[in-house]
Structure 1
Amino acid sequence: MIMTIERNKIITVQAGDTLSKIAKKKGTTVNKILDLNPNLHNPDVLIVGQKLKIPSKDVEFSVRFVNLLDQAPAGIKFKIQQAEIQLAQGRVTEQSNEFSITAELNSKLSVWAKKIGDFDFLKVAELNVIDTPPIVILKLNSVKINSKTELHPKKNSESLISAEHQAMPSQTPINDGSAKKEQGLTYVIGTNTKSEPEHKVLDRGCSCDKDINIDQLAAIFPNRKKANLEEFIVHINSMFKRYQINTCLRKAHALTQIGHESGSLRYLAEILPKGKKEADVYDGYKGRGLIQITYKKNYDAYGKYVNENFLGYNKMKLEEPKWATDSAGWYWNYGTSIDLNNYADTSDLLAISFGINGGFNGLDDRIDVFKRAHKTLRVLSCLSSNATDSEYAPFSKSAVYNKRDAAFAWGLWSDPKSNKKGVFKNADNSKAGYARFLELNNEVPIRRARYGFKSTEAMIFLAKERAK
């Protein structure tokens, strides 16, 4: 299905930015930006590092990979990027060669691919998203004939998706005269008049292009009975497809966060402290769904995305397995300032956890779930992952290292003298977090106290004391 989605995008103000410059660059108006940012009291003054909501139009379309016989070029690995942001990646199989993409209007995408046995990806196409496009058929020779991009035959030939591409390099065939079967054809290489080498897809046993099954889910959440997990399995696989959680590593990280936030798929709604009513918290919309969406604005935004009403009494629908699961996928893509698939691709567990939790509550449990998911989904055997073990990016390599508040949170949760729970206490980790916070705070000073502190001065004082 092809559709255009209106949504808001979060950008970070850079040095030299003005509202008019941003509006011109993003194809919108200053008034529209002001409407989305009511707290922007002085539009003539922007602060470097400030977050702004910007109107954005996304386009959903599909990319279909075929070979010269219009069959799936099984074994090809691909990735589709917008600048440095990875929108999709995976492996083409005989059963799966069409992939859904969501991209910003007027953006330029690059398509990269490689054959089995190759070490490097090569750019095979560029797509300019300048209007709602048809299905894009990307014709690749998995061996040596030039690639070719075609429009879907049911669509007008004047597509507004354009493509420029180059050939993928060939491999030298081993002329052993043995019979080969590839893409539906059986022949002997020694008698192949075109001398085109073939590659054979090896079943590495990973979960990129497969639905996960109930045994895998039970292995990831061993404290739950299969009977209690079965009602989620269909919805989880549907969510993975809809929100492009389509590699073993992405699935492992998504299940890690969903599992922790929901108590291993046990709780579909937040349990409030005794004596508190829902009307008293999150403007009347407590956490619901497997990733615990809160606040009316988020209930409303998700409802508009799926064309359902979750406001008022209808908010209870988010406790149904279908919507509880799907809303977690929506939050994974749109609930934070970045699609969490991007962090999953680099195994940045710290950045994902901070994006969802705002701190590091329950990090130790998230790590335990991740290790089980990593093993169960066989990430080490995955063709889409370069993982060599089940380790995640450390603080110094994580995106949180360059986030001021996240760096403070890492120091605070790791601090042996702190009452924050969920992270193994380590003085060295704590000092590293506090020290990095102070460095970043010198560049962009913190303006709002967080994590139970009454003032930013108190946060800075603690960081200086603990970083010694």
Structure 2
Amino acid sequence: MTTYSVRSGDTLSGLAQRFNTSVSSLQKTNHIANANLIRVGQRLTVPDGFQAAPSKAGSYTVRSGDTLSGIAGRHGTTVGALAKANGIANPNKIYVGQRLTIPGAGGGAAPVTSKPPSGGASYTVRSGDTLSGIAGRYGTTVGALQQANRIADPNKIQVGQKLTIPGRTGGTGGTSKPPPSTGGVGGTPGTSGGKGGVSVAQLRRIMPNLSQAKAEQYLPHLNKAMAEANINTPRRKEMFLAQLAHESGELRYMEEIASGAAYEGRKDLGNTQPGDGKRYKGRGPIQLTGRANYRAAGKALGIDLEGHPERAKDPDVAFRIAGWYWQSRNLNSYADAGNFREVTRRINGGYNGLASREMYYRRAQDVLG
């Protein structure tokens, strides 16, 4: 066994995937009653990695942010087995409150010792991939992938590495195109987040450097923020996501890397007190900056951001701030008019990084248009 200290953004399901174990095993080992309640700095004992054993037949109620692949991974089964057990024709369409039957050993994950079926296809590892994520996309298991590719440590795969996907018939020579990743849920049943929403697969196609785990973590908050700000047409979503992708490095940086000292004394930002530059540095996917902006956003959202500026980088708040900022600048009207340059100017104060923003916009158009 080993130990791990919980960091900001961690979830028990994410840690289970990272260490090739299961949520229930982590809960049992660490006496955790509620899998959704872990805290930053908490020391967890991680049981030895293993391919999670198929759970006994049971049930599970879908929660906001869940995906079928994530549920399959937590219960030691496969997307295909879950879909079959629950009569799900499209694995991208599950909804909050839906009761799922978790199949037992008969329909669960293949044991690690099973011989991988012949005729496997191949897949080239990309940035942000995990073995569990790849397994979920192809309806196989981490153990089967390990065995087929002689991988001793499931946490160590490399970008560019060619993997054999067991049990698929796409031929062994070419690179197989993965089936669509399961989208996030919430809102109207059978949709990817309700009106104005996007799916995990769409988000990662626009921002390919965003990991599957982070995309799944952020998606419910992103979709909620877009719904609140009426970012609910393809053009509005395309421009909004393009700007967020550029501002936050594809949602990888929810806090400005620089210290913020450069903003010290900036009265135009409302930084009038010593230390305001660092205290109110850029945070969130749209990089909210300055005491005055924190105060305005906090007032609009009913959150004391001026007193607790660190909250601006938390996903549940950060995406709402981005939506508020977008709406407060009337950017939907410029998006509707197709004026991407003006959207950029009103976010940036100029046209810094315009080429990058336009690249993301074109990518978003290809995905959502």
- Greater strand content: 1
User: TM-score per shorter chain, which class?
Assistant: 0.3 to 0.5
- Greater helix content: 2
TM-score by length of 2: 0.43
Select the structure of larger CA radius of gyration.
1
